[in-house]
Structure 1
Amino acid sequence: ESGSMPFAQVHYPFENSDWFEDHYPGDFIVEYIAQTRAWFYTLHVMATALFDRPAFKTCLTHGVVLGSDGQKMSKRLRNYPDPEEMFAKHGSDAMRWYLMSSPILRGGDSIVDEKGIPAAVRSALLPLWNAWYFFSLYANADARWASLGRVDSPAVLDRYVLAKLRSVVGAVTEAMDSYDISGACAAVEGFLDALNNWYIRRSRDRFWGTTEDEADTQRAFDTLATVIEVLCRVAAPLLPLETEVVWRGITAAESESVHLADWPQAESLPADPDLVAGMDRVREVCSAAHSVRKAASLRARLPLAALTIAAPDSESLAPFAGLVADELNVKQVRFTNDVDSYAERHLIVNFKVAAPRLGGATPEVAAAARNGDWALLRNGRARVGESELEAGEFEMRLDPVAPETTRALSDGVLVILDTDLTPELLAEGTARDVVRVVQQYRRDHGFDVSDRIHLRIAAPQRVRGALTTHRAWLGEQTLAVSVELLEPEAPALRGEEWTVSSLPDGEEVAVAAVRQ
């Protein structure tokens, strides 16, 4: 009887004939994969026998939803977290994203338990909320209105985020049209990472107003507001509750809904695929350099002398040198085409692909590759020993000469970080550490982000020396109109509210501030 559902549910052919003819076959059907030989099959058998047409136009199957014990989720076994409890604890959007972005929607089996829900919060819900919070915090502090729909900013970061948003709108639209929900989630999640961890972080000075370029600051606010508004519309089917709150906030439309707004059109956003590709490549370079820092236990606030980017086309990244230097806190970014000075090239044979064709010559090819008896030929081919390999039968690998300071990217780019420290670099690092201490003091004592302050710092001689050198920069970063440097005993002799903090090297500094 399950195969009779489409017509039996409306008592066809005894009534509802017009409705049935307009609604049959169904646009799509979805169930877990075992229904391909059960319900889906019986539906087609009945539809073919009775109506000589298929029972549905589009068929979706998902993997098996497993309970916390690894067995198929079952109401009888109760081997799943209580949905109402999960909604109350994490929110329904978190549960929704967790399921839609999981392998289940790509046909894989997956255990569904509470442990996976916080990951959904971190990967999607928090990044979207953080972007909105950042915008609203500084827009309100500056009493600033943003113009939605502005896409004409000449700033390279604005152009990048708008062009990347265009590609995301296109990708999500295509994924949703083809019922690829997990693909849509992946596109949104990737963009949220670029928005928060690149665009906003690299544009912070523009929002803080420290660039002394009012027009550029306004362009930054307009661009971010436009991006958040469009992103809410494209993510609304995936995060319906959070996007509703954020969209109403960014549009000041308390009585309207993002779910009634028009779907965004990719063509309304500027296209610049070369800029997107170049900037994404820069992000990979910076990620690799950060990994070198982490491995060497060099904190991000400690400036370094130089970063070298080695690649056959390294000059293509030269326009982004300033962004790279700021992101990595290095004094100089160098570009070179001399890859061989920093890494050794190795040819790796893909035997799964090559062995069936090579046959008995496979051992000789393997030995030649190990011994370095190879050469690259034209048209993507390679000579290995006495044999020739086709494109796809081998790959080239770069092994850094100094792996402790070098990373090789998948596209043949080498990232080399100079980790040698000088007294000048150490002094600047100390000043940056103190800035962090002061910013924490401002937050802990309820200062507004726009409050100007009179700042007092009591610290050992070495720290005071570093701060003397960087006094102007310290004041700019902390919005301090005056900076007084005192000896460590000063807090005990004065009545201000002092806060004592430890720097990474263990030295203590005491901070006190009053509003201007």
Structure 2
Amino acid sequence: MENGRPAYETGRPSTYNGAVDKMKEMRKEPTEAEDLMWQQLRNKQVDGCKFRRQHAIDQFIVDFVCLSKMLIVEIDGGYHNKPEVKEADEQRTQILEDLGYKVIRFSNEEVIGNTASVIEQIGKSLRSRKDLSSNSNPTSPLGGDQRGAPFPADFIAEGVDQTRGWFFTLHALATMLFDSVAFKNIISNGLVLDKNGNKMSKRLGNAVDPFQTIEEHGSDPLRWYMITNAQPWDNLKFDLSGVDEVKRKFFGTLYNTYSFFALYANIDGFDGSEVEVPVAERSEIDRWIISLLNTLTQEVTDALENYEPTRAGRAIQNFVTENLSNWYVRLNRKRFWGGEMNRDKLAAYQTLYQALETVAMLAAPIAPFYADRLFTDLNKLSGRHSDESVHLAEFPAFDEAMIDKALEERMEYAQQISSMVLALRRKVNIKVRQPLQKIMLPVYDARFEAQIEAVKDLVLTEVNIKEIEYLKDASGVLVKKIKPNFKTLGPRYGKMMKAISKAFAGMSQEDIAKFEKENSFTLVLDGETVELNREDAEIISEDIPGMLVANEGRITVALDINLTPELKAEGIARELINRIQNLRKDSGFEVTDKIVVNIQKNGATDQSVDQHKEYIAAQTLAKEINLVDSCNRNDALSVELEDDVVLLLEIEKV
């Protein structure tokens, strides 16, 4: 049974009942040649194959057919020699062959005058055909075994300029010929315009040579840019600088992340064959990136299955640039370099390997060449996959058990708070290397405070702050202002916006604090109730003396920018570490080389060096940090710190 119909009912459903009556009439009055042929074909006399006579296939009634071999035998009278009839026969044959049938024709004279030869030719044709009796679907335009075959097509893609023609023509033809739609989904491609939104043309000189672009930037960056820059159905303002940006920010970042992994994996001899450290026993930041990796896999899978490649590409890109590289790798560098291979270090290697491998597999549909190289390079190390190419490997599946939404949330808080604090530092030109004392953070419920507390150490390290002070009641410390969001309120309360604006202006600090805590607020204006949610208002905090304040969503951060002598001394030590690291690199030292550092005494820095000598040595792989009266060597190096302080250094590899 196919779709509730017997397999032998191969006629078009919409016309089948009428065809049955016509077939019965035709069987009652066969021609002499048809009757003779039926006597030879009936009861499986030819090669044991069953034939049916006057049988409906799609829109036609054929003379004889063997459904198991999809072989049609037509007997033509003399009128078939007429040009118009011959043309119709050719069209009919073409349609039937497109359905997967083979059609052979004989004239009345051939059947009557040389029956044995005709039967021999039919036998040869039967023996050349595969037996499809168990799985044939002769109503499909693709013919043969069509269970699960791509008709109707899962999707097609065409330009928006074809929406009134090509798309509907396909459906019309499929409906008339096969009683089916032609495709299930459609991706309508927009136009590629120049960067100013004008149509490209040779006359205007604004056309871009695709081959030259591929030669200069590569096909994968070009493809990634076009997929992620705009939805396929939107017009794309093509800008070569955008392709270059994708190449640098995404592909460059992914390459640097892999290079970092490869560098230290080679040093430590990691090859992926080590016993896996259970995820539950890895550090929180490992479990976070694995959770996020599974969430990414889930999102990319959903996006691709719903024909949204732009969403998939953007999700992969954001994961690589913002989470894998800018957060996970950067915060875990110390776990990779220095020291012996211990359990924690092994977990870091295994986590980063898994992330890189999964990204390669997820990105493969959009960046086939780059992803394949990344996948094969990783697989050469571990040999985990027998597949020679990423395109032969199974697409990754997400593991629901590995997804920890609470962990993802608190790490997102950490990233958001860190970003806000770093922006405040830039506002007053205080570098991250200069430690500051504290940030104040208003908290509105116990869960939010607990989530922040869980990532507090990470935040303090990231933004170089000593402490976080939680404010249960910020009304006496922070002064806030509230403004209505006309975009959300206007469509709902258009005529009342003047009164709503006035009510916003009259809100007290306590009202604003309540609004922030509960994420909702109710106004009663002229007897009418106005329900506000958090998106209906913009709440900002004013700077207070000695502190800078920033708002983002429901999070407010106040940064203490006062510098004590102790903080300044630590800042100098960190600046010195940065200069020594740069000198190590410029001198061509290996990352594992130990050094001795001599620093010529300077009143502006000596106290800081004395206080933080061990810290400086640990960060620069220095066996000794010495303060000397003078640097006598000819190759002494001069470095400039903040506030125009210049130091002379001697660095020697030991």
Same fold (TM > 0.5): yes
Alpha-carbon separation, structure 2, partners of 1:103 and 1:58 = 19
Note if 1:87 corresponds to 2:227: no
Q: Which amino acid aligns with 1:399?
A: I
Aligned to 1:49: 176
Partner Cα distance (1:290, 1:439) in 2: 23
Which letter does structure 1 place at the counterpart of 2:648? A
Question: Given the superposition, is the C-alpha separation of residues 155 and 499 from structure 1 closer, same or farther in structure 2, using an over 3 Å criterion?
Answer: same
370-379 or 225-234, which deviates more: 370-379
Deviation readout 1:269-291 (Å, 9 max, x if unpaired) = 71211100110111000000000
Partner of 2:142: 20
Aligned-pair distance for 1:394? 6.5
Distance in 2 of aligned mates of 1:188 and 1:397: 31
1:508 pairs with one of 646, 649, 654: 646
Aligned-partner Cα distance in 2 for 1:449–1:360: 68
- In structure 2, the residue matched to 1:5 is none
- Inter-partner Cα distance in structure 2 for 1:308 and 1:393: 22
Larger radius of gyration between Structure 1 and Structure 2: 2
State the shift of 1:130 in Å: 1.5
Query: Which is worse superposed, 360-369 or 400-409?
Result: 360-369
Question: Deviation per CA, 1:219-278, whole angstroms, max 9, x where unpaired?
Answer: 111211121112211122222222222222222268822222221111177121110011
1:437 and 2:579 matched: yes
Residue 117 of structure 1 corresponds to which residue in structure 2? 243
Q: Quote the Cα distance in structure 2 between the aligned partners of 1:406 and 1:147.
A: 50
Q: Which residue of 1 aligns with 2:605?
A: 463
Q: Aligned-residue CA RMSD in angstroms?
A: 2.8
* C-alpha contact (below 8 Å) 1:47/1:54 kept by paired residues: yes
8 Å CA contact 2:481–2:541 kept in 1: the answer is no
Partner of 1:143: 269
Q: Unaligned stretches of 5+ in structure 1?
A: 1-7
Tell me what 2:327 maps to. 198
> How has the CA–CA distance of structure 1 residues 282 and 177 changed in structure 2, closer, same or farther, with 3 Å as cutoff?
same
- The offset of 1:217, in angstroms, is 1.5
C-alpha offsets along residues 188-227 of structure 1, whole Å, 9 cap, x if unaligned? Answer: 11211111111111112211246x8822122111211121
Amino acid at match of 1:317: I
**Residue of structure 2 equivalent to 1:155:** 283
Aligned residue identity for 1:177: E
One-letter identity of the residue aligned with 1:40: F
Task: Give the % identical residues.
Answer: 29
Go from structure 1 to structure 2 and tell me whether the alpha carbon gap of 1:384 and 1:501 turns closer, same or farther (over 3 Å shift): farther
Q: Match of 2:455, SS?
A: helix
The aligned amino acid for 1:278 is: R
Q: Which residue of 1 aligns with 2:358?
A: 230
Residue 185 of structure 2 aligns to a residue in which SS?
strand
C-alpha separation in 2, matches of 1:396 and 1:71? 38
Task: Show the counterpart of 1:59.
Answer: 186
- Take 2:534 and 2:398, find their aligned partners in 1: how far apart are those partners? 38
Counterpart-to-counterpart distance in 2, 1:104 and 1:355: 29
Name the amino acid aligned to 1:67: D
Supply the distance in 2 between the matched residues of 1:510 and 1:448 (Cα, whole angstroms): 22
Give 1:99 deviation, angstroms: 0.5
Higher relative contact order (CA 8 A, sep 6+): 1
Partner of 2:309: 181
Change (3 A) 1:379 1:109: closer
Report the Cα distance in structure 2 between the residues aligned to 1:325 and 1:414, rounded to whole angstroms.
16
Q: CA deviation at 1:353?
A: 5.3
Q: Which amino acid aligns with 1:406?
A: V
Contact 1:68 1:80 in 2 (8 A): no
Residues 380 and 69 of structure 1: is their aligned pair in 2 closer, same or farther, counting only changes over 3 Å?
Answer: closer
Aligned to 2:58: none
Superposed, 1:83-482 pairs within 5 Å as 83-105=210-232, 107-146=233-272, 152=279, 153-192=281-320, 193-209=322-338, 214-252=342-380, 256-267=388-399, 270-312=402-444, 313-351=448-486, 354=489, 358=493, 361-372=496-507, 380-386=520-526, 387-392=528-533, 395-402=536-543, 405-410=548-553, 412-458=554-600, 460-482=602-624
3-state SS in 2 of match to 1:461: coil
C-alpha distance in 1, partners of 2:590/2:161? 58
Which of 71, 86, 102 does residue 198 from structure 2 map onto?
71
**Aligned CA distance change for structure 1 residues 355 and 69 (closer, same or farther; 3 Å):** closer
